[in-house]
Amino acid sequence: MQTILYIIRSNSQRRKEEQLNIYGSTNKNSEDAERMIAHCIYLVKLLEDFELVYVFFKIYGLTLQLNNRVSKSLHVFEILRDLAYEIKDPVYIMESYRYLGLAHQYARQYLYSVVCFKMILMFAWFHTKRDWELIAFNHLAIEYFYLGEM
């Protein structure tokens, strides 16, 4: 399901409604989406609700990744990981490592990706989260396949 946002813009003394697809096909649409999400993150930071900031950073990182801005998405997911440590919830920490590992995989940095998925495995064992353990093993198998070590 694609998320569509409606933006009202003035156009030659009249207003018209345009559709803006977050997964956008043009650079202008993706830049507008990034600007809107960055503004939302700024507003949420003012509220000092870390869990809401976490959600917005996750959406922002995924938007960057879908628009092939890999280095920016890696930076955002690193911030997401640090924020998850601030929240001190093991599920958020594992989820942030998952997104960070997938971003490294997308950037073809497979060794960094393996480190992220091993961190998920470590947290899953420590907190007895069987579902996250399976997720970690699944991603590790894929990474070792890409590395040719399987």
Domains contained in the chain, CATH given: 25-147 (1.25.40.10)
Backbone torsions φ then ψ of 71, nearest 5 degrees:
-65, -40
In 3D space, the residue among 78, 70, 113 whose CA is nearest the CA of residue 96 turns out to be 78
The per-residue pLDDT for 28 is: 60
Which residue matches tokens 């938007």?
A: 63
CA-atom Rg of the chain in angstroms = 18
| Per-residue pLDDT tens over the stretch 9-26 | 333 333 333 333 333 444
pTM surpassing 0.85?
Answer: no
Residues 28-73: pLDDT tens digits?
Answer: 666 666 677 677 667 666 767 778 888 888 888 888 888 888 888 8
Is pLDDT larger for residue 115 or for residue 45? 115
How many Å apart are CA 142 and CA 150, to the nearest integer? 9
**pLDDT value at residue 96:** 93
Distance CA 112, CA 99 (A): 12
* In the chain, % of residues over pLDDT 70: 70
d(CA 74, CA 70): 6
What is the predicted pLDDT for the residue at 5?
Answer: 30
Is residue 74 pLDDT above 50, yes or no?
yes
Q: Is 12 exposed, middle or buried (0-12, 13-18, 19+ CB in 10 A)?
A: exposed
